[in-house]
Structure 1
Amino acid sequence: MRIRTAAALRGVLAGALALSLATGCAKGGSVGSSSNTVTYWLWDANQLPAYQACAKGFEKENPGLKVKITQMGWDDYWTKLTASFIAGTQPDVFTDHIQKFGQFADLKVLAPLDDVGIDESDYQSGLAANWIGQDGHRYGAPKDWDTVALFYNQKMVKSAGLTAEGLNNLAWNPKDGGTFEKAIAHLTIDRNGKRGDEPGFDKRHVKVYGLATNGAGDADGQTTWSHFAASAGWSYTDKKRWGTEYQYGSKTFQSVIKWYFGLARKGYMAPLTDWSAGANPANAQVASGKAATAFDGAWMISTYYGMKGIKLGTAFTPVGPTGKRATMMNGLADSITKNARNKPGAEKWVKYLASDACQKTVGRYGIVFPATPDGTKAAVAAYKKKGIDVTAFTKPVADKKDATTFSYPITNYAADVVALMKPAMQDVFANDAPVSGLDKTNSQINFLLNQ
């Protein structure tokens, strides 16, 4: 039933978009757009000042052209963007996410960027290639990238007798958790002061969890289980990009999930009931002193290091059964809408956004890691100036010898995959449902992708 419902909703959206593109309702173009204005949407308020600075640089190089930037929150952003395609009020250019790319490309609401002049070698490895559609056309210009690392409370780590060097050399396996689980257990303290690895530990009344929870991970597990699954040798689909078979039914994947969620059942990781994407995400659990560590993305660096009264550190993800550590490397891009009112101006703006000039400007704000190497260097220097060491995020990208970077799964029906996996993963996490139940969910997803 879920599959039919999700596919039906997708069909309705596709029909509405097709109708809007074929009728006059799309002719109005972007709200506020004109021949001398380029409209641009983004969701991250922290990045707004950096892109306002880029807009000034662009306008100076392109007299007579203006950039109108609109920023809104993550959830509102995607809702309004989808609605804008239907209403014909879409922006000329918008910040695109790889998780959404497949559906937008399939619905043909994006303009090809083949003539913008994007050279893949100008960016961090793999970022540009992710934005090639199944038709061979490019639909995104590399913008920035992020990886995942372990944030930790330095005081709690020191009190536990652990060190930064030790945290950077942890290893794990799905049988006994390895030195990673031992460290997380030792960082856990119950209401009586007993640590998780001490006799008498009360897992029902935990005062400080060794590891915060970031939810069940839905279909990608970016800041939860993805780095464990990848370092065990698992991959989301049968192909690096545009796969047609998901692999959630893999015994390797299911053994990882069983172990990972088992940390909560042992009392070492905060339970799903402690998590809320809005009210109590992983960073809030660390900020409140409820958790000693948390896996999170590079986009959260400023948030963690801005916590009052807490001195933070970061460590690499642990080495897995493959002998290597792993981290998802996500990359955003800028896309032009198919019915952009100011297409020539949009192409110039996207080319400028992807240039070293803009990327170094963004890097100097120390908010994200821009896609070009020089932009990344500018960001690293900006973080260093703030007293923040970002090696745990940058080294896996620079040095592939001991680390594996991987992307979000890039397939059609991404929203449908999430709709199916989200309740299934929450059931395993919250209700201790058998991981073997993911076989059925995986079959439903693959049926959808290949119907």
Structure 2
Amino acid sequence: MRIRRSAPLLGALALSLTAGCASGTSSDSASSSREVSYWLWDSNQLPAYQACAKSFEKLNPGLDVKITQLGWDDYWTKLTASFIAGTEPDVFTDHIQKFGQFADLKVLAPLDELPLTSKIKDSDYQPGLGASWTGQDGHRYGAPKDWDTVALFYNKKMAASAGLSAESLNTLDWNPTDGGTFEKAIAHLTVDAKGVRGDEPGFDKNHVKVYGLATNDAGDGDGQTQWSSFTASAGWTYTDKKAWGTHYNYDQEAFQSTISWYFGLAKKGFLAPHKDWSQSNGTDVQVGTGKAAVAMHGSWMIKNFYGLKGIDVGTALTPVGPTGKRATMLNGLADSITKNAPNKKGAEKWVAHLASNACQKTVGGHGIVFPATKDGTAAAVASFKKQGIDVTAFTKPVTDKTTFPFPITNYAADVYALMRPAMQDIYANGAPVSGLDRTNSQINLLLSQ
């Protein structure tokens, strides 16, 4: 899974690094090691990378790749602990939320300073992916591995019974005043316990059988699969810069009016309430059990939704916003080498292979995610097509250039720690969005230090 959450790095990490306690094993003394250790969290992608490892080992006799797959929460906890103990892996799958702090703590190896990985160019990948992994010091710390966008997943049977065609769902619009045709569609898809739709007289918002829109937590500070497509299509940006922003904009009217409207859907009974969300009851489960008709989620969830038993699933583009444009976040993961990698030379070779067109086409052929190279993406599209899955809703924003980047700043874990409870309070308790003014001030005070 790619649950878009983060937790503050343990303070002990910074202290141990400052004290030199996380020095790890010398790369020189381990350079002849046969084993290259590689960590990832997505179990769905494990077979694809096992295939890449097999081809790598054939090309590099004497090197063996040991892959460790951990769940999302355990992954970051154990990775942090490994840096403290000096037992870090050679290579790990990195997330954009994390790498800024890891780079700042100097636990990552600059890829542009290593002979093989220095050949990686931004032009090798889909536009915008490579640049995201450049630190403030100008060094590259991640080799792009894949990308993802956000779209609408919907229950075709429910949509048809509501008189909503695939074409109509792909041409929805929204605004923070009356919600536009998007809110009308979500309202009509909502059905209470007595069979009354959300836009019909007598609708009981307190006893809803099917919600028009599934819930996916409050979105913390990035709202990738919740509200980010709406705030971006309203013309709002997270910070003052595309990367390494120095000022957040959670206090702006465009953001707060959008958030007020979005969570207002729950008050009307159209969006599943916060209490319905849990790790074991994600939006795919809500759609799969008939609890919700539509879910907004990322492309990494394609197989989950299309694998729902008894549910005929379709996908649609995110709605057009007040700016007259659509928007979806373009995010992507990368592979990073740890600064004190026990097998630095082996790690360099492995990351160069992971970044290669050959490996990315292999990953694409498994039809799980969209690899970062264009050929890798094409392989994924072809694989999905063979499975009868149309992924246009995810690829069109990239070709149409209606994407925006994940926010990259310092103190990402602190932004999370401040924004998560603030957004939860708005969603779960109906707190006024104006309270974000204070939260935004606290965040910007941190960034100014």
Letter in structure 2 aligned against 1:450 = S
2:25 aligns with 27
Kept in 1, the 8 Å contact 2:148–2:394? The answer is: yes
The DSSP-based 3-state class of the residue aligned with 1:58 is helix
CA displacement at 1:34 relative to structure 2: 6.1
Structure 2 counterparts to residues 278-297 of structure 1, below 5 A = 278-297=279-298
Q: State the distance in 2 between where 1:218 and 1:7 align.
A: 11
Alpha-carbon distance change, 226 to 33 in structure 1, aligned in 2, over 3 angstroms: farther
Question: What is the one-letter code of the residue matched to 2:34?
Answer: N
1:347 matches 2:345:
no
SS in 1 for 2:213: coil
Deviation at 1:35, TM superposition (A): 1.6
Matching residue's letter, 1:15: L
- The 1:24/1:387 distance shift into structure 2, 3 A limit, reads closer
Query: CA–CA distance in 2 between the matches of 1:330 and 1:372?
Result: 14
Aligned-residue offset at 1:399: 1.6
Q: Which residue of 2 aligns with 1:168?
A: 170
Q: SS at the partner of 1:263? A: helix
Q: Is the 8 A contact 2:9 2:413 kept in 1?
A: no
CA spacing shift, 1:132–1:24, aligned 2, 3 Å: closer
Give the Å deviation of 1:13. 2.6
Q: What's the CA shift for 1:305?
A: 0.3
SS in 2 for 1:40: strand
Deviation at 1:83, TM superposition (A): 0.3
Q: How does 1:18-417 map to 2 (within 5 A)?
A: 18-19=18-19, 22-23=20-21, 26-27=24-25, 35-114=33-112, 115-276=117-278, 278-400=279-401, 404-417=402-415
Partner SS, residue 292 of structure 1: strand
- Divergent runs of 4+, >3 A: 6-12
Structure 1 window deviating more from structure 2 (34-43 vs 239-248): it is 34-43
Which has the larger displacement, 32-41 or 350-359? 32-41
CA–CA separation in structure 1 for the residues paired with 2:217 and 2:70:
24
RMSD: 1.8
Aligned partner of 1:13 in structure 2 is: 13
Deviation at 1:18, TM superposition (A): 2.8
Percent identity, aligned pairs only, is: 75
Task: Name the SS of the counterpart of 1:210 in structure 2.
Answer: strand
Is the 1:149–1:392 Cα contact (8 Å) retained in structure 2? yes
Task: Pick closer, same or farther for the CA change 1:258–1:33 going to 2, 3 Å.
Answer: farther
State how far apart, in whole Å, the 1-side matches of 2:12 and 2:39 are: 25
Q: CA deviation at 1:9?
A: 7.2
1:354 and 1:394 map into 2 onto residues whose CA distance is 21
Residues 184-231 of structure 1, C-alpha deviation per residue, up to 9 Å, x if partnerless?
000000011110000111101000000001010001000000000000
SS in 1 for 2:388: coil
Deviation at 1:443, TM superposition (A): 0.3
The letter of the residue matching 1:110 is L
CA contact (8 A) 1:116 1:351 kept: no
Distance 2:9 2:355 in 1: 34
Where 2:100 maps in the other structure, the secondary structure is helix
Secondary structure class of the residue paired with 2:327: strand
Cα displacement string for residues 119-168 of structure 1 (whole angstroms, at most 9, x for unaligned residues): 11110000000000000000000000000000000000000011000000
Post-superposition offset of 1:16: 1.5
Cα deviation code 1:251-282 (max 9, x no counterpart): 11000000000000000000001101x12111
For the residue of structure 2 that corresponds to 1:127, the secondary structure is: coil
Partner Cα distance (1:28, 1:87) in 2: 14
Aligned position for 1:3: none
Distance 1:447 1:417 in 2: 11
Aligned residues: 439
Structure 2's unaligned 5+ residue stretches are 1-5
TM-score with structure 2 setting the length: 0.95
1:100–1:351 Cα change, 3 Å: same
Determine if contact 2:17/2:105 at 8 Å carries over to the other structure: yes
Instruction: Give CA deviations for 1:370-404 in whole Å, capped at 9, x if unaligned.
Output: 0000000000000000000000000100122xxx2
| AA matched with 2:302 | I
